[in-house]
Amino acid sequence: MKDKLNKLRELTAEIFDIYNAAQILEWDQQVNMPPKGAEQRGNQIATLQRMLHTRTISPEYSKLMEELVDYADELDPDSDDARLIKECKRFYDQKAKVPPEFTAEFYKAVTLAYSAWEKARRESDFKKFQPDLEKIVELRRQYAEYFAPYEHVYDPLLDYFEPGMKTAEVQAIFSALRPQQVELIQAIAERPQVDYSFLTLEYDEQKQWDFGVEAITKYGYDWESGRQDKSPHPFTTGFGVNDVRITTRVDRKYLPTALFGSLHECGHALYGMGINPAYERTPLADGASYAVHESQSRTYENLVGRSMPFWEHFYPRLQEFFPTQLGNIDLETFYKGINKIQPSLIRVEADEATYNLHIMLRLEIEIALMEGALAVKDLPEFWNARMKEYLSVTPPNDRLGVLQDVHWSNGYIGYFSTYALGNLISAQLWEKLNSDIPDLADQFRRGDFRELREWLRTRIHVHGKKYEPQELVRKVTGSAIDPAPYMKYLRTKYSEIYGL
């Protein structure tokens, strides 16, 4: 069986080389590609994805899977070999149910859709994106049907991003979480509001960039294994532990955009850089799930990056970058400003208390689209009405409303709930972290993030996709995904800031 396992590794390595080549083309599209290159890029990515798909469901690979699944049952269930076989089988099963021609069609559609979204967002005109999104919704419904029977049409899409999670589970978590968050937001609204006007002054773009680079360098981002570029929507992508790239975007009139975008994406990147190198060119060389990945980005963006100890170290340096804007703003005022609670239009710039409401809105929309209860053409009106209901704000245009996120243009229907689940996981990990490292705050005050990084690396990052998400969370924290620590964190932090 060792020979067969080695053959599996050989075939899997070729498959994931193709996968990473396609990922590089997608990265280039969002960072460097000229606008007119979309159709050719769509063909290129479609060809690579069809090749990947065809190789995965080849008779040789299929036969190996049949033979090795039984062999895996004889191994230590926590061994790398057993987990590799299990994850290869999951990857194979996903591909085997879907025709390669469908995969090629889908990837060509989303490549064209990204360019259409980029243009529509720039011009704030949803109708320029509508035909592409209608195509994507149709393809996602078709994809779900390949996995019938299911409990809910959304389940196959959610499972792609969050293995084992069901739509009903996410809805139950959100139903329990939403009234608690609404209650907290209402309590804060009744208190004197914090000033954040100093964040909306004119901030030099290059200086914002340079400060963000300093911050993520101290976090431990390895510039010999990564790079940062600009893109319309920040993202992280990796082609191996030694090539993990991030992007951000800069707003000259709002300081937090670039900074917290960089901190967020750096959290993703540190995860990718910390995976066991032995998992390279296999499906194990990835995060346990998108929610676990988001727990890392939200930790570095919020639990660390919006904490007082972080800014006790970094704020004097930020004042050196922007003496005119921040020279007369004391640390406490700045800290409260970056942690203001105020319903807002843009998800990626939302505060910690209202952020999950943005996610709940998107989940509701995606489920309605998949069920056929909502037509794509009615999305802007539906979006605006729900923004008013959920957050008491109404987008003035499509750019600040329904077109703000890149995910649907990438075909990522099923992804959004992982952001909120990631918030919950981050708070659970945070409790355990602070229990294990009592002087963590003092380390941050010194600008030392090494022990934080090492704790996360040894407990989360190094395992890659070896464990399922709920399994990994239980191993580290002792319980499954639980909203309670997150709500405790929010109430404690914002009671201090707003005097609740």
Residues forming the active site = 265
Q: Are 311 and 335 in contact (CB under 8 A)?
A: yes
Instruction: Report CA dihedral (157, 257, 215, 331) to the nearest 10 degrees.
Output: -130
Which position has the token pair 């380390």? Answer: 443
Smallest CA-to-CA distance from 281 within 8, 34, 4, 2 is with 8
- CA angle (18 as vertex; 16, 23 as ends), nearest 5: 90
Cβ contacts of 476 within 8 Å, gap of 6 or more:
429, 432, 459, 460
Q: Are 422 and 399 in contact (CB under 8 A)?
A: no
Please tell me the distance from the alpha carbon of residue 143 to that of residue 156, in angstroms, as a whole number: 8
Cβ contacts of 426 within 8 Å, gap of 6 or more:
294, 295, 296, 298, 299, 302, 303, 486
In this structure, the strands spanning 236-238 and 244-248 are antiparallel
Please tell me the distance from the alpha carbon of residue 215 to that of residue 451, in angstroms, as a whole number: 16
322-343 b/e (C-beta count within 10 Å ≥ 16 → b): beebbeebeeeebbbbbbbbbb
DSSP-derived secondary structure letter, 282 = S
Cβ contacts of 6 within 8 Å, gap of 6 or more:
none
- CA angle (233 as vertex; 232, 235 as ends), nearest 5: 130
Which residue intervals of 190-307 are DSSP H helices? Answer: 205-219, 256-273, 290-298
Q: Are 107 and 46 in contact (CB under 8 A)?
A: yes
Determine phi and psi for 439, rounding to 5 degrees. -100, 25
Smallest CA-to-CA distance from 136 within 415, 407, 418 is with 407
- CA distances from residue 251 to 356, 410, 428 in whole angstroms, order as listed: 23, 24, 32
Q: Which amino acid is at 173?
A: I
Q: What share of the chain is helix, strand, coil (3-state, %, to 5)?
A: 70, 0, 30
Please tell me the distance from the alpha carbon of residue 339 to that of residue 322, in angstroms, as a whole number: 19
Please tell me the distance from the alpha carbon of residue 341 to that of residue 185, in angstroms, as a whole number: 7
Indicate if the alpha-carbon torsion angle 129, 134, 135, 137 is positive or negative: positive
